[in-house]
Structure 1
Amino acid sequence: MLAHRIIPIGAVLLALGTAGLAQAQDRVHRFQDRSGAEVELRSGMATYPADGPAPAFSALDTNRDRSISPDEARAYPLLATDFLYADSNRDGRVSEREYARWTAQR
């Protein structure tokens, strides 16, 4: 009978410990560099504002060369973060076809 109570309690404790570990990953480290300047280093998962529909390809292709460069992708943080994946042929640019594929998968 006691074993039936210990297992659920153990599962709850394990779940609580895992949640605490996930929170512990967001850290702030403060130190001084060699010149004496204060440095703050934050680590953890990036957060983005709620995203709605992806912008139109033409809105990101500001120079109208029919592709999105890494600099142009910065206007859409989700694409900038996932640029290497979206650029499936690895030519350093995201074509309209690659962008359509990428937006369909998000």
Structure 2
Amino acid sequence: MYTRLIGLLALAVSSTSFAQDISSAQYQTPQGELLVRTSQPAAHDYGPPPPFAQLDATHAGFITAAQADHYPPLANDFIQADRNRDGRISKAEYERWIHQH
């Protein structure tokens, strides 16, 4: 019974076009009504970007992907922030990224 219900739920979810304003949907199943509620998680406030020197903990003059992980918004945008695609973010690239966000 649970396998069947899960299968029906998966079918209902996969066949529904989700938009941001949809918060719930009702489906009739052989076992009765199924209510599916959806929502977006609250946005996390990471605060202002830290100074370059704080992320460049080794004082090498650039931020690596591992160092960017300490500020999730930068880690998420690492490829875009690394304008010359050398696998690291220079101070100029970091400053440009800050001003774009």
Both proteins in one fold, TM over 0.5: yes
Structure 1 residue 52, shift from structure 2 partner = 2.0
Q: Which runs of 5+ in 2 are unaligned?
A: 1-17, 25-38
- TM-score, normalised via structure 2 length: 0.60
| Alpha-carbon distance between aligned partners in 1 of 2:75 and 2:41, rounded to the nearest angstrom | 13
Q: What corresponds to 1:85 in structure 2?
A: 80
SS of match in other structure, 1:58: helix
Could you say which structure has the higher helix fraction? 1
Q: Is 1:50 aligned to residue 45 of structure 2?
A: yes
**Structure 1, unaligned stretches of length 5 or more?**
1-16, 25-43
Instruction: Name the amino acid aligned to 1:100.
Output: E
Aligned length: 69
Residue equivalent to 2:3: none
- Encode CA deviations 1:28-62: one digit per residue, 9 max, x unaligned: xxxxxxxxxxxxxxxx9786521322100000001
Taking structure 1 as the reference length, the TM-score comes to 0.57
